[in-house]
Amino acid sequence: MRETAVRHVDVFTDEIFSGNPLTVIPEAEGLSDSQMQQIASEFGTPETAFILASEGHDYRLRIFSPIKEIPFAGHPIIGAAHVFVSEISKSHGRRLMHETGIGVLQIDVMGDQPPHKLIMDQGKPRILGKLDEEHLKGLCDALTLDRKGTSSDSSPQIISTGLPQLFIQVNGLGDLSHLSPDFNKITKIENELGLTGVGVFTLETVNSDASAHLRFFVPSIGISEDAAAGSAAGGLGAYMAINGLATKERLRDFSIEQGFEMGRPSRLYVEVQLKDDAPQNVRVGGYSVTVSKGVINLQ
């Protein structure tokens, strides 16, 4: 019988029982792929992060949803870095380099004392296309979204800062709260378009200092709705830059709120760096809090 340490972390929040829950295995050496998937399925959090040794970098990270491994996701990266800084390296005020399924990424550890704000680089923003009329009609049907509720300020687009994701803007918080997603239909759209998630957002916010309010659905990987999605926050930041939904000054440092409809309010900080008015680099970060520590008994 092998005992393996496990941590439960709430990410993109500084309060327990809010933000996005994450399971972290801080010493994952020796675990097989099947064991990692079994652990992720057993705990059932949106994702489980496995920290492994790396040659030349601080650590290597593998990420599993309850049903499959995924190459990149924001809240597991931030939550795993929180555990690494808090328990393994005791690092502060420096830069971490870690391996992911999309390459080596950096995380800046802000502040001399915990809680640390952790800011991660994401993949280079890529515009992968707009939504055609047929798929837009199907998406509105899948979300039970009245076309009158969609904003005329921008059209639905597929953006990637690591994962291809679709973003659609609606007029206000009421339109978001009234969504009743059909997850089978959303999964079909994800599979047809090669997506990992659909983000629906509005510029109307609960908190006056936030710039956007987001809901994010990823049923294709076993996550019906995400309470705080770092990858989606990065993609949304790029979308807002491309469509002129925020000033250049605001894009340098703003926040996105998420998870309110799930009773798990979250705050994600976003920085979009521009070159010739186009998004060149996106950084996303926030705070995390450890909820519990324990062990798993493995055969």
Whole-angstrom distance, CA of residue 252 vs CA of residue 282: 10
- The pLDDT assigned to 20 comes to 97
**Cis peptide bond upstream of 76, omega within 30:** no
* Contact (CB, 8 A) for 280 and 125: yes
Query: Average pLDDT, whole number, for the chain?
Result: 94
Q: Which of 3, 29, 47, 271 is catalytic?
A: 47
Confidence check: pLDDT of 93 > 90: no
Model confidence at 2, pLDDT cuts 50, 70, 90, reads confident
Confidence check: pLDDT of 92 > 60: no
Q: Is 271 a catalytic residue?
A: no
Confidence check: pLDDT of 89 > 90: no
> For 272-283, how does the pLDDT look when each residue is reduced to its tens digit (9 = 90+)?
999 988 999 999
The CB-based long-range contact list for 29-33 (8 Å cut-off, 24+ gap) reads 29/53, 30/2, 31/4, 31/298, 33/69
> For 94-150, how does the pLDDT look when each residue is reduced to its tens digit (9 = 90+)?
889 999 999 999 999 988 777 889 999 998 999 999 988 899 999 999 999 988 889
> For 196-213, how does the pLDDT look when each residue is reduced to its tens digit (9 = 90+)?
999 999 999 999 999 999
Tokens 């609960």 belong to: 206
What's the pTM? 0.93
DSSP string, 66-88: SS-EES--HHHHHHHHHHIIIII
Tokens 């949304």 belong to: 236
Strand (E) or helix (H) holding 185: helix 183-193
Model confidence at 90, pLDDT cuts 50, 70, 90, reads low
> For 45-85, how does the pLDDT look when each residue is reduced to its tens digit (9 = 90+)?
999 999 999 999 999 999 999 999 999 999 999 999 999 99
- The pLDDT assigned to 152 comes to 78
Confidence check: pLDDT of 41 > 90: yes
- The pLDDT assigned to 91 comes to 59
Going along the chain from its start, the domains and CATH numbers come out as 2-122+287-298 (3.10.310.10), 126-284 (3.10.310.10)
